[in-house]
Amino acid sequence: MSLFEKDPVHIYIGADHAAYEAKGKLVEFLKGEGYGVTDLGTFSEASVDYPDVAREVGEKVLDNEGSFGVLICGTGLGMNMAVNKLRGIRAAQCKDVEDAEMARKHNNANVLTMGARTMSEQMHRDCALKFFTTSFEGDMEGFERHKRRVEKIDLK
Ligand code: RB5
């Protein structure tokens, strides 16, 4: 059975030491909301390099069609830069629910990046729920322009 026969949305999540605590709280919240979540670490406050975590999460998202990633570090910015180096990843740095909504509607983002030190626990929750419940408009009749634009992101 694939992950997606079991879970309508599967989420791979990762954080560095700066966001270890915030990540743990978000994992518990998302599980409580019924999402399938795979926590890829880090699993303590010991210092780690965020690009290593970003790559692990990004590769899982690419290997599992339809899944999403969440990456949290101090600001979210380093995670965003690192994971966006992987072709096929469209990571959006979101600080509010409007960012999260538009990242899905117009950009078909597949990874959400957020800051642990720059956002509240409640905003992490709100952004994540908006991100996972908003569909890409580019698959709808009359909105093909969004699909065309997103496809251009992956051109060499
Ligand atoms: C770690 O101190 C910090 O640099 C990292 O969590 C992140 O904010 C980098 O973008």
Q: What is the tens place of the pLDDT at every residue in 67-92?
A: 999 999 999 999 999 999 999 999 99
CA dist 70 and 64 (Å) reads: 14
| pLDDT digit string, tens, across residues 84-129 | 999 999 999 999 999 999 999 999 999 999 999 999 999 999 999 9
Domain assignment present for 72: yes
Domain assignment present for 78: yes
Show Cβ contacts of residue 33 under 8 Å, excluding neighbours closer than 6 positions. 129
Please say whether the beta carbons of 124 and 73 come within 8 A.
Answer: no
CATH code, 102: 3.40.1400.10
Domain assignment present for 3: no
Structure tokens at 66: 């339809």
In eight-state DSSP terms, residue 11 is E
Query: Distance from the CA of 91 to the center of ligand 1, in angstroms?
Result: 17
DSSP symbols for 22-90: HHHHHHHHHHHTT-EEEE----SSS---HHHHHHHHHHHHHHSTT-EEEEEESSSHHHHHHHTTSTT--
Q: What is the CA radius of gyration of the chain?
A: 15
Q: How confident is the model at residue 3 (pLDDT cuts 50, 70, 90)?
A: very low
pTM (predicted TM-score): 0.95
Query: Distance from the CA of 6 to the center of ligand 1, in angstroms?
Result: 34
Domain assignment present for 21: yes
Please say whether the beta carbons of 124 and 26 come within 8 A.
Answer: yes
| pLDDT digit string, tens, across residues 15-59 | 999 999 999 999 999 999 999 999 999 999 999 999 999 999 999
Domain encompassing residue 137 = 10-153
Give the per-residue pLDDT at 113: 99
Q: How confident is the model at residue 156 (pLDDT cuts 50, 70, 90)?
A: confident
Give the per-residue pLDDT at 154: 83
Active site residue 146: no
Domain assignment present for 115: yes
Domain assignment present for 118: yes
In eight-state DSSP terms, residue 16 is -
Domain assignment present for 1: no
pLDDT over 50 at 2, yes or no: no
What's the structural domain count of the chain?
1
Site to probe by mutation for ligand 1, drawn from 20, 47, 49, 79 as the one with most ligand atoms within 8 Å of Cβ, is 79
Domain assignment present for 2: no
Please say whether the beta carbons of 52 and 82 come within 8 A.
Answer: no
Q: How confident is the model at residue 7 (pLDDT cuts 50, 70, 90)?
A: low
Q: Residue type at 36?
A: G
